[in-house]
Amino acid sequence: MTEKLQFRRVTGEHVEAEARVDDEELYTAKFLMARRVWLEETELRQHRVSDGSQRSTGYDRLDNEILAGRQLYEVAEWGGYPPEVVRLYGDEATSADPYALFYPYRGRRLSTVGTHFLAEERDAFEVSLLTGLCWLAAAGISHCALSPDTVLWDGEKRQVQIADFSQSMVFGAPREAIPGPSSWIAREQRPGSVGGTVSARDDIWAAGRLIFFVRNHGEELADRGRLAESGLDELLAGVFGPPTGRPTARELLVDRMGHRDPVPRGADRRPWLEEGRRHFWAARQHKHPGAAIPPEAVEVAEGSDRITHTAWVHTDRAAGTEASERVQVPPQAEVTARKASQDKGFRWRRGAG
């Protein structure tokens, strides 16, 4: 069966294409349905809103998936997309029957394979899971529903893939109650005790339990005393406390495990907004000389020199080296410089400012 699809690629261009469709339903999030589609030879997953009385919830869930996909794309840029999170291909978000297109998921749910990890696989799992969370944090997204059913394991590549962003939220949003078993939902997200705003410290609670789950062959953490027995008491110290005192994924990965931060510095910034923001503060200064500037905006408002040029790191992918070269590129020259470098086989990642 074929269908004509009109959608927006995650890269921004609009696509109209004939797609081959497989009507077999795939496992996916509640209030959504999924099926395989093929655009020429490219296989994709199409997520749509389920019919029924909860359809309005389905719209929101699909929006969450699209937003997370787009945000992750923006921070990861072309060619540098992290395999630890599912990847959006495109979306049609304006019609009454919207959908999202994802690259096929990789791996199997932890609920299925989490009981059979080898020791070296467990280490890889922990690093990969925290790496994925670091990218989520850079995108300003909290998954909010990490569990053995939403995290996949690709045993061949020894990589995690975090899937199902249907309940994800942006940092700063008021927390909403997440339905589900309390073993995977932190107290601040459980119905009846929900409160506060979403932050980069929210997902680590469920991630810590996943780490325990894999280390202990599928055992759910019921007693924190078991952490020491599993050798996790230091790594996961503070993870199960109140959200404000929890470590971030980056702190676990970099500070406690000694790995490199997978996310280049400055990737969480939106450089295309920086110039406009400076214009704003200049306009305000003109109207109200000496008016106080909120701490969150001081850097932008006063650090114009640092913002004028964005530093980029391009890594020689062919050589497989980690060595990088930093170049200063003014915002208006970003696209040209990036394309020229990619033509030479370099991989670009936004770096320190």
Partner 1 sequence: MSNIDQILYRAPNGGNGIIQQAATSLRDHVEGNHWLRRLEPWLRTGNPLGRGYLAFGRQAALIRWHSDVTSRFDWQLALVLVGQPTVLTSTYALELPELSAYLQTLPRSNRLLQATRTELGPAHSGVNARARSKEAIDLLVPLLARVLAGERSVVMPWTEPSLPEAVMWGVVSILSMLGDPRPVSFLTYASTRAPNTPGLFVAFRPGAARLPPDPGFEMVATELASRFARDPAELRRTLLQFGMLQPTDHAGRITRLLRLWPHIQTVNAYPGETQTVNATFNSPSSMAGAASSRQEQGGATGHGVTCPICLHEIDNWDAQQYWRWDATLEAYVELPVPPGFNQNQRDRLVRGSYVRCPAPHSDMQSEHYLPVNYGRFGPPVLLGFIGLTKSGKSHLLASMVGEVQAGGLLQDYGIASRPVDPALHQRFMEGWVNPLIKHGRVLPGTQEGIVTFADAFLMSYDNGPEQVVALFDVAGGDLARVDESKQFLEIADGLFFVIDPEPWNGSGKRPGDETFDNVLNVVQEKNRQNRVSAAIVLNKADKVRFDEPVARWLRTDGSALDPAEFLLESQDVYAYLHHKKALVLAGPYRLCDKATLHVASPTGGAGDGEGSVYPRGVTPRRVLRPLVAMLAMTGVLTAPKAEKVGI
The interface mask with partner 1, positions 291-320, x = CB under 8 A, is x--x-xx--x--------------------
Number of residues located near partner 1, criterion CB under 8 A: 38
Residues 75-94 that bind partner 1 (CB under 8 A): 93-94
Exactly one of 172, 191, 195, 345 binds partner 1 (CB under 8 A); that residue is: 172
- CB under 8 Å to 149, separation ≥6 — which residues? 109, 110, 111, 164
Residue (125 or 135) nearer to partner 1, CB: 135
Candidate residues 15, 17, 26, 173; the one interacting with partner 1 per rule CB under 8 A:
173
Residue number with CB closer to partner 1 (61 or 106): 61
> x-or-dash pattern for partner 1, window 91-120, by CB under 8 A?
--xx-x------------------------
Rule CB under 8 A: say whether 167 interacts with partner 1.
no
Closest approach of partner 1 to the CB of residue 99, in Å: 14
Applying the rule CB under 8 A, the residues between 180 and 199 that interact with partner 1 are: 197
Strand partners, 346: 316
Closest approach of Cβ 268 to partner 1, in Å? 11
281 forms part of the interface with partner 1 (CB under 8 A) = yes
Q: Which of 132, 140, 180, 351 binds partner 1 (CB under 8 A)?
A: 140
Told to check if 329 binds partner 1 by CB under 8 A, we report: no
Window 260-279: contact mask with partner 1 (x via CB under 8 A): ----------x-xxxxxx-x
Binding partner 1 (rule: CB under 8 A), the pick from 19, 32, 67, 210 is 67
Which residues would be at the binding site for partner 1 (CB under 8 A)? 56, 59, 63, 66-67, 70-71, 74, 93-94, 96, 140, 169-174, 197, 270, 272-277, 279-281, 283, 286-288, 291, 294, 296-297, 300
